[in-house]
A and B are shown apart, each in its own frame.
Chain A
Amino acid sequence: MYSFDYHRPGSVADVAKALLANPEARLLAGGQTLIPTLKQRLAQPAAVIDLGGIADLKMIKRDGATLVIGAMATHDMVARSADVKAAIPALAALAGGIGDPQVRNVGTIGGSVANNDPAADYPAAVLALGATVVTNKRQIVADQFFAGMFSTVLDAGEIITALHFPVPKKAAYAKFEQRASRYALVGAFVADTGAGVRCAITGCGAGGVFRSAEIEAALAKMFAADALKGVKISVANIMGDIHGSAEYRAAMVPVIAARAVAMAV
């Protein structure tokens, strides 16, 4: 690792100040991506600003028709939260399937969403559920938040504080995972929101997580696994690598989405 200064402010306002004072700083949430990146010397921040000292960012609560999850809630907290299991069981199940137990004990929802890894699980939930990303400056709807692989519309100095998930009628997430890494080769989050069906696909988008118009159109007619028989996904925006070609992954998208629909509760 290159050397860096370390700060652990006690409030979001102090984090914002520290970011202003250190424009070359990186925010540290759980660190399960950032620390390996630093170890490989793929990043050289002048300072690391740890969000771990802000207790408020860890809260999870149901607020009417919205589930509020603090940015620093760990995957394990989301997986085991009675509020999450009652409101959106698909989200609890998704969190319980990320990485391995030790990663889930440290990794956070805010870190995952801000990083927008094209194979991460959480971005699919945020997009399919039509969640709102709350920052220290504004509220950003999911459809406008993700901006391509490892990119979001977050400004320099902007800090995710919470995610607001509207509680759907039913939803589920199914993942076809790479056996060693547990990252999604194809992951599909489907949601019957009450105001329409949404389906977000992770793991295979050339531009990161995306909504599948083909799958949403088929499910709008009938929210059932059979509705996806024969649905074809264009390979134009699908990525391939040594773990699976673009054609293979495109063929898997409706299959995995159908599994998610069959599981939806």
Chain B
Amino acid sequence: MPHVTMEVNGKAVKVDVAPSALLVEVLRRDLALTGTHVGCDTSQCGACVVHMNGASVKSCTVLAMQANGAKIVTIEGLSQGTNMHPVQAAFKEAHGLQCGFCTPGMVMSSADLLARNPNPSETEIRSWLKGNICRCTGYHNIVKAIQIAADTMSKKAAAE
């Protein structure tokens, strides 16, 4: 069986995989990183979003073999120890979730947006979230959370 070597949340891992294994299957099943969710399994809903070499991707639509040699960050790797990432803290503050199923993908997607565009407009935020579906909140508080996170992150960047 072939194997895939990746850096996942800062740790080097080597996993035997079938060529048809999806990245999300390896993360959840082999690495027990179950924070990444499978919602639709058809690349519509975005619950499975992780970062691959710094860019957000739908891990249900990437073969594990395609991630060979890649740096992967999942929701479990976003905080620094017990310090939540500003996007995570903002989702908590703004109540940007109800059931929480879509939240890992929402947070990973939002973190990618803010890394590229530190001060997005509401239109840019809503447009960016096209690939993330939430069936509880109607997005209002999710957008608010991302605006709060943008504010926190730019204040932090200005202070440094």
Contacts and interface: CB of A to CB of B under 8 A. Distances in A.
Interface string B97-135: 000000000000100110000000000000010111000
A31 B131 contact: no
Given A1-B20, A39-B41, A101-B128, A8 B65 contact: yes
Interface in A43-93: 48, 50, 52, 76
A106 interface: yes
The 8 A-B pairs with the shortest beta carbon distances in the complex, nearest first, are A100-B131, A6-B19, A100-B130, A105-B55, A1-B20, A102-B58, A102-B131, A35-B61
> By CB atoms of chain B within 10 A, which of A3, A99, A101, A103 has the most?
A101
A6 B68 CA distance: 12
Interface stretch (B7-15, B42-50, B137-145): B42-50
B112 A101 contact: yes
A8 B68 contact: yes
Nearest to B17: A6
Interface residues of B, number: 28
B112 A4 contact: no
Contacts of A5: 19
Interface residues of A, number: 26
B65 A6 contact: yes
A181 to B, nearest CB: 8
A23 interface: no
A3 B22 CA distance: 12
10 contacts: A5-B19, A6-B63, A28-B63, A28-B66, A35-B22, A50-B66, A99-B130, A100-B46, A100-B131, A106-B61
B42 to A, nearest CB: 6
B130 A32 contact: no
A38 interface: yes
Nearest to B59: A102
A102 B49 contact: yes
A244 interface: no
B42, B49, B57, B113 pick with most chain A CB within 10 angstroms = B57
Contact of B63 (A3, A35, A99): A35
Contacts of A32: 43, 61
Interface string B32-64: 000000000111001001001001111001110
A103 B55 CA distance: 11
B20 A102 contact: no
Contact of B131 (A4, A6, A8, A99): A99
B131 A101 contact: yes
B81 interface: no
Contact of A101 (B63, B65, B113): B113
Contacts of A4: 19-20
A99 B62 CA distance: 16
A248 interface: no
Interface in A1-34: 1-6, 8, 28, 31-32
Interface in B55-97: 55-58, 61-63, 65-66, 68
B56 A101 contact: yes
Contact of A31 (B42, B46, B63): B63
A170 interface: no
Nearest to A40: B42
Contacts of B131: 99-103
B130 A182 contact: yes
Most buried by B among A5, A28, A52, A182: A52
A94 to B, nearest CB: 15
B31 interface: no
B132 to A, nearest CB: 8
Contact of B58 (A1, A38, A103): A103
